[in-house]
Structure 1
Amino acid sequence: MKKLKGTLLLFSPLFCLLLGGYEAFSQDTNTPELYLEPIFKVNYGDATADKPQSKSWTNEHGQWLVVGDEDGPKLLKKDALGWTGQSAVNRAWQTLPSRADVWSKGDEVQIVFVGECALNVVQMRYSKHRKGYKQRRSGYLPIPKDCNDIETATITQDSKNQFWVCADMNGKIMVWHSSNGKDWSEPFTLADDINNDDISLIVTLKGQVSVIWSNQNTQSINERIHIDGDDPDQWSEPIVVQEGDNNADDHLNATVFENGEMAMATKNSVDVINQPQFVLRFRDTKGQWTNIPYENLRTARSPSRPIINHIRQGRIFEVHTVRNRVNNRYFISVNEIIRKGDGWEFKELIQLKTEINGKNGDVTSSKAGFLPDEPKLIFFSDDLGHIYSFDLDTIL
C-alpha cells in the first residue's frame, strides 16, 4: 500500500482524481475515502470541542476559525500560506477559557468562551486599516457561587439586536441576556431537573429565540421560546420535542433555513446494535417537530457527535465522527440529507481519515448556512492537537 503524501491512499483498483490525488473507497460501503493532513497544530487535545458549538465563519475578509490551546484560545485565518494565527488577538486571549462558540454578523463577531465555572464574552470588529480583527471588549458573565461545572455554552443575537447565551450548570439550563453585548444579566433558569451530563443549544429563529436541551432523566428533548422584544425572563412553557425510548443524549447541533425552518442533528441513548443512534429533528415555521431516527450502530461502526449545516436555498449536510469498534480507529463521515416527498434519505458522500491511531472528531462548522459561491468548510481535531479542514465544494 503506497502513500501519496498529502492526498489519498489507494485501497482499490477503482479510483478517480480528486484534488490532484487519488480517491479510494471504503470496503463496506463503497464510499470514497480521503486522508487529510493537518492545517495547524496546537498544544491542546480536541481543540475543536465542544459538541453544539460553531467555531468558524466566512465573510468578505476571509475564512476564520477559533480553536483551543494550552495558553488560551487561538484565532486562525486562511491565507496564501495556509491557516495562520492572528498574533494580536491571540495575545489578548491568553489565559481565557479555550472552548468557544461564535456568532458573526458583518464586521462584528461575538464569542463566548467556556471554562469550568466561567463564561467570558468577547466582542471584536474587523479593521480594514489593520486588515484583521480588533478586540473591542471582553467581560465575564455573572456565575452563581454554587457553580460546580459548566460543560458548554452557545451564543446568539435576535432580531432586536439583543444578545443571548445559554449554558448547562448544576443540573440546570440557564440563559443570560445583554442589550449591548457588554453588560450581562444574572442567569435565568429555564430548566432545573436535567442530568449533569445534559447540555443545551440556543438558536435564532424568525422573530424569536429557541433554547433546546436534552434531559436524560426524563428521556426527553425539550424547547422553550422567547419572542423578540418581550421581557428577558418571559419564556414559553417547556415544549416536549420527544420523550421516552432513550431518545435523549448530550449531542445537539442545528441549522436554520432561510424560510425559518430548522433542522437539528442529535444522538440518542439507545446504544443497541442495528438500531439508530441519531435522530434528525425538523422544526417547521409553526413550531411543529418531526423526529426521524437514522444512522444505525453497527458491530464495527459507532457514530457520535453529529453536526448539521446547509447551503443557503439548497442542499443539507450532516457530518459526524465514527469509531471503528474493531480496530479503534476513527474517521469523519460526511453525509447529504435529501428530502423526498414526505420522507428523508441519508447518503454518505465521503469518509475523512487521518494517519493518527488515536481519537479524532469534534466536527465544527459555521453557525450560518454556507453561501453557494463561498467555501463550505468543516473542521475537526485529534487528541494530539492537530486541526483538520475539508471544503465540501470538493465533492459537490
Structure 2
Amino acid sequence: MKPKSILLLFSPLFCLLFCGYGAFSQTTNTPELYLEPIFKVNYGDATADKPQSKSWTNVYGQWLVVGDEDGPKLLKKDASGWTSQSAVNQAWHSLPSKADVWSKGDDAYIVLVGECALNVVQITYSHHNKQYEHQWKSYLPIPQDCNSIETATITQDSKNQYWVCADMNEKIMVWHSSNGSDWSDPFTLADDINKDDISLIVGLKNQVSVIWSNQNTQSINERIHYDGDAPNQWSELVVVQEGDNNADDHLNATVFENGEIAMVTKNSVDKINQPQFVLRVRDKKGKWTNIPYEILVAGKSPSRPIINHVESGKIVEVHTVRNREINRYYISVNEIVRKKNGWEFRELIQLKTKINGKNGDASSSKASFLPDEAKLIFFSDNLGNVYAFDLDTLL
C-alpha cells in the first residue's frame, strides 16, 4: 500500500517546491508495521554508526555484521532465520564492534572501529565449505595523540587500491593500502572540525571522494583523490554548502550507475516548520545541488537518515523518528522521486517495535539494490535486538 499522490497546484507541496525545498508527502494513514527481532546481542545499538553499511547480498546469500559485547558478529539469512557464523565470529573475538563493509566477488573487507583503534579484516567465501572464512586482520596506524574515533568507512578504487577514512580528535584522516592488509600512516584532509563531526568515503568512477561535516564552519566539505595519483595527492577543498547551520554529524550516500551521488544529511537548524534534513546530489562533473526536506513538526524528532536505490531507478530514504509526546520511536521509510520541477518525498510505511526504549541506527548495503533480489534494511534498539525489513514489498 502506497500513499496517494497529491495535487501540486495551490497546495503546500507547490509552495515547497518553488521555495527550493524538497516536498514531503505524508498522508495521515501511512501504513504501520510492527516487527519482531531477527537476532539479539548483548550490545545496544548494534547497527550503529550513521555512515556505515553493514549488509550485503551476493550469489551466496544475504549477510549482516552487527556489534556485540565480545566483538562483531557475522550473520547469514537461511531457512531458519538469521544465524551466527561461529567460525568467523570466533576469529573476530575482542575486535572493535562498529563495522563498515566493502564486498566484491568472493571477498569482503570490513573496517572495525574502536575508541582509538581501526582494524581491517578480510573474509573470503569458501565454495567447498559453503561459508565465509576469516583470512586475516590488520591494524591501521593510529597517532599516539588520539583521543577518540567515532566512525570510519572503507572503499576500493578502480586501481584496486583500498581506502579508509575516519574522524580522529578534530581531524579528518585517510589511510591507504595497495593490498587491503598493509596500511599507510594516515594523511590529514582537514584539521579544523568539531569533535562531533564525522566523515564518509565514497568510491566513484576513477576517483574516491571523502565528504565530512564541519560544525565549526557550518559546512559540508569534500576532497577528491583521482585513481592512480600518489596516496597523499588530494584535490583542494570543495565546499558542498556553508552557513545557515546546515552541518551535523549525519551522513549517508548511494552512488548511481551513471556516476552521480545522492547523499542525505541532517542539519543543525532544529526549528519547527524548517527542514531538518538535506538531500545533496552530486552530478558526474562534481557539481552539488542541495535540497532541504523533512519539515520539523512539534513533538517529533527525525534523525539519522540513510539512502539507497534500486538499479531500476527508484530511490529510498530511511530515518528514525522519535515521537516525543509518547517517547516512542519508529522507522520512516520513504521513496524519493525526481521530478522536472523538484523532488518529492513519499512516506511509504512506518516500522515499529514493541519495546519502549530507543531504536534506530538504520543501515543498508553499500551497493545498490538489484531489481530481482531482496532489498534489506536493518535497525536496532538499545536492548540488543536487531530488526530487518525487505523493501521489495514496497518498491
Judge same fold: TM > 0.5, yes or no.
yes
- For the pair 1:222 / 2:209, whether they are aligned, the reply is no
Q: Distance in 1 between matches of 2:318 and 2:356?
A: 21
Q: Distance in 2 between matches of 1:224 and 1:313?
A: 29
- For the pair 1:174 / 2:177, whether they are aligned, the reply is no
Equivalence map 1:235-384=2 (5 Å)? 235-384=234-383
Question: Alpha-carbon deviation of 1:300?
Answer: 2.0
Q: Distance in 2 between matches of 1:320 and 1:205?
A: 25
CA contact (8 A) 1:276 1:293 kept: yes
Question: Alpha-carbon deviation of 1:313?
Answer: 3.2
CA contact (8 A) 1:376 1:393 kept: yes
TM-score normalised by structure 2 residue count: 0.93
Q: Distance in 1 between matches of 2:148 and 2:297?
A: 33
Question: Alpha-carbon deviation of 1:28?
Answer: 6.8
Deviating 4+ runs (over 4 angstroms): none
Equivalence map 1:147-166=2 (5 Å)? 147-166=146-165
Q: Distance in 1 between matches of 2:131 and 2:274?
A: 48
Q: Distance in 1 between matches of 2:394 and 2:34?
A: 14
Q: Distance in 2 between matches of 1:98 and 1:388?
A: 18
Residue 108 of structure 2 aligns to a residue whose secondary structure is strand
Residue 232 of structure 1 aligns to a residue whose secondary structure is coil
1:74 equivalent in structure 2: 73
Residue 160 of structure 2 aligns to a residue whose secondary structure is coil
Q: Distance in 2 between matches of 1:380 and 1:82?
A: 16
Which amino acid is the alignment partner of residue 34 of structure 2? Y
- For the pair 1:95 / 2:85, whether they are aligned, the reply is no
CA contact (8 A) 1:258 1:313 kept: no
Which amino acid is the alignment partner of residue 359 of structure 1? K
Report Cα offsets for 1:70-116 as digits up to 9, x if no partner.
01110000000000000000100110000000000011100000000
Report Cα offsets for 1:288-333 as digits up to 9, x if no partner.
0000000011112110000000001310000000000111100000
Q: Distance in 2 between matches of 1:297 and 1:127?
A: 49
Q: Distance in 1 between matches of 2:388 and 2:332?
A: 13
1:130 equivalent in structure 2: 129
Residue 121 of structure 1 aligns to a residue whose secondary structure is strand
2:12 equivalent in structure 1: none
Q: Distance in 1 between matches of 2:114 and 2:353?
A: 29
Question: Alpha-carbon deviation of 1:202?
Answer: 0.1
1:42 equivalent in structure 2: 41
Which amino acid is the alignment partner of residue 228 of structure 2? G
Higher relative contact order (CA 8 A, sep 6+): 2
- For the pair 1:142 / 2:180, whether they are aligned, the reply is no
Report Cα offsets for 1:118-139 as digits up to 9, x if no partner.
0000011100111111111101
Residue 346 of structure 1 aligns to a residue whose secondary structure is strand
Q: Distance in 1 between matches of 2:55 and 2:190?
A: 29
Residue 372 of structure 2 aligns to a residue whose secondary structure is coil
Q: Distance in 1 between matches of 2:114 and 2:352?
A: 30
Residue 63 of structure 1 aligns to a residue whose secondary structure is strand
1:14 equivalent in structure 2: none
Residue 392 of structure 2 aligns to a residue whose secondary structure is helix
Q: Distance in 2 between matches of 1:395 and 1:176?
A: 39
CA contact (8 A) 1:39 1:82 kept: yes
2:120 equivalent in structure 1: 121
Question: Alpha-carbon deviation of 1:29?
Answer: 2.3
CA contact (8 A) 1:154 1:202 kept: yes
Which amino acid is the alignment partner of residue 116 of structure 1? E
Paired residues, number: 370
Residue 89 of structure 1 aligns to a residue whose secondary structure is helix
Which amino acid is the alignment partner of residue 213 of structure 1? W
Aligned CA-pair RMSD: 0.8
Residue 97 of structure 1 aligns to a residue whose secondary structure is coil
CA contact (8 A) 1:267 1:306 kept: yes
Q: Distance in 2 between matches of 1:209 and 1:141?
A: 19
Report Cα offsets for 1:330-359 as digits up to 9, x if no partner.
000000000001410000000000000010
Question: Alpha-carbon deviation of 1:394?
Answer: 1.3
1:191 equivalent in structure 2: 190
Q: Which runs of 5 or more residues in structure 1 are unaligned?
A: 1-26
Residue 184 of structure 2 aligns to a residue whose secondary structure is coil
Q: Distance in 2 between matches of 1:208 and 1:51?
A: 23
Q: Distance in 2 between matches of 1:154 and 1:266?
A: 16
Q: Distance in 2 between matches of 1:30 and 1:268?
A: 28
Residue 270 of structure 1 aligns to a residue whose secondary structure is coil
TM-score normalised by structure 1 residue count: 0.93
Q: Distance in 1 between matches of 2:374 and 2:27?
A: 30
